[in-house]
Amino acid sequence: MSFSLTVLGSSSALPTSKRFTTAQVLNVHERFFLIDCGEGTQIQLRRFSISFLKINHIFISHLHGDHLFGLFGLLSSYNLLNRKSDLHVYAHRDLEISLEHYKRHFGSDLSYSIVLHPFTANKSGMIYSDRHITVEILPLRHSIPVVGFIFREKEKPLNIKKEVIERYDLGISDIRKIKEGKDYIAPDGTQVPNEKLTLPKLKSRSYAFCTDTTVFPRLVEKLKDIDMLYFEATFANKDKKLAKLTGHTTAQQAAQLARDANVGKLLIGHFSTRYKSITPLVLEARSIFENTFAVEDGDNYPVELQRNAPSGDLPRAGTDV
């Protein structure tokens, strides 16, 4: 039950010899969600051995080239690889213009369909839901419409304790009911509470991706208790004015937000190429929120499975219940 992020590009608008422009892949139970698609994304997918064909959903935060210009090469490569399954793209509605331009001039006879799921980026809401996760957009503040994406695992089913099945000689129908949260009524009428029969629930994990934005108060509530937050830290705090002017965030501001929102872990990236070393940005963030990591291309960050605190132990074998 993977829930892990691979960073494909971590630079800001200008790529460097070591950092490509923005792209990430979130692996949720071996389904791969591509988030932004900067130039060279398909090369990074190959470098980091992520199968192209496991990607069916691409989320584009905004229509600036450094978050988008890898898309068209990827679309062409899918065609060369004779992709058949639909490719779903979630982006601001204006992407349709560029997709039409691409299809007319470069991809007139694609082997697959591109399904655009357009949004307007002016209000929050769920844009995707499957068996395992939901994806919500979160309007951000930049020079053009931009959204963050919040990926949340759905509530997980209860797991029954193995030894319980044998002890009470449970049938399929009993097991189903217990997994639904019901107590067990033994043939002699004894009622066994559900929490004695099941393991504490696995927590639903969450990841939020926010880039190309200034910070603003409402983000604290919107990102509350997120397990892992990627937030841009284009600038160091000494360049705070420049950050505001260009619609970006400093490492310190990202860390303050992470602290106030009580997130589990903060990843920072989208670093301006003006900084020869990003160590000062990491230090200024960690002084406020210790669990901060500066991402590099190729980094992988899993969110581990955790169970809620147990509500009570199962009585030992042989004990009456």
Q: Which bin fits 94, alpha (ψ -120 to 50), beta or left (φ > 0)?
A: alpha
- 66 given a catalytic annotation: yes
The residue (of 60 and 197) whose beta carbon lies closer to its own copies is 60
Does residue number 17 form part of the binding site for its own copies (CB under 8 A)?
Answer: yes
Distance (Å, whole) CA 303 – CA 5 = 8
Q: Considering the rule CB under 8 A, would residue 94 count as an interface residue with its own copies?
A: yes
Q: Tell me how far, at minimum, the Cβ of 172 lies from its own copies, in Å.
A: 49
Supply the minimum distance, in Å, between the C-beta of residue 63 and its own copies.
7
Per CB under 8 A, 275 contacts its own copies: no
* CB of 14 or CB of 186, closer to its own copies: 14
Residue 46 binds its own copies, judged by CB under 8 A: yes
Nearest-approach distance from CB 278 to its own copies, in angstroms = 17
Pull the structure tokens for residue 6.
């691979």
Q: Does 186 bind its own copies (CB under 8 A)?
A: no
Q: Which residues pair with 118 in a beta bridge?
A: 91
> What is the footprint of its own copies within residues 102-121 (CB under 8 A)?
105-106
Min CB(42)–its own copies separation in Å = 6
Question: Which residues does 77 contact at the CB level (< 8 Å), separation at least 6?
Answer: 42, 52
Query: How many Cα atoms within 13 Å fall on the side-chain side of residue 184?
Result: 24
Cβ neighbours of 141 (radius 10 Å): 13
What distances in angstroms separate CA 127 from CA 85, 134, 147, 151, one per listed residue?
20, 8, 12, 10
Q: Does 82 bind its own copies (CB under 8 A)?
A: no
CB atoms near residue 58 (< 10 Å): 23
Which lies closer to its own copies via its Cβ, residue 66 or residue 284? 66
Which of 47, 84, 154, 274 touches its own copies (CB under 8 A)?
47
Q: Does 66 bind its own copies (CB under 8 A)?
A: yes
Nearer to its own copies, 11 or 253 (CB): 11
Q: Of 21 and 249, which has the nearer Cβ to its own copies?
A: 21
DSSP string, 79-95: HHTT--S-EEEEEETTH
Q: At what angle do helices 95-105 and 71-80 cross, to 10 degrees?
A: 40
Are 25 and 45 a contacting pair, CB within 8 Å? yes
Residue 16 in the binding site for its own copies (CB under 8 A): yes
Q: Out of 43, 50, 175, 282, point to the residue binding its own copies (CB under 8 A).
A: 43
Residue 318, phi-psi category: left (phi > 0), alpha (psi -120 to 50), beta (remainder): left
Q: Which residues are catalytic?
A: 66
Which residues lie near its own copies (CB under 8 A)? Answer: 13-17, 20-21, 39-40, 42-43, 46-47, 63-66, 69-70, 72-73, 76-77, 80-81, 94, 97-98, 101, 105-106
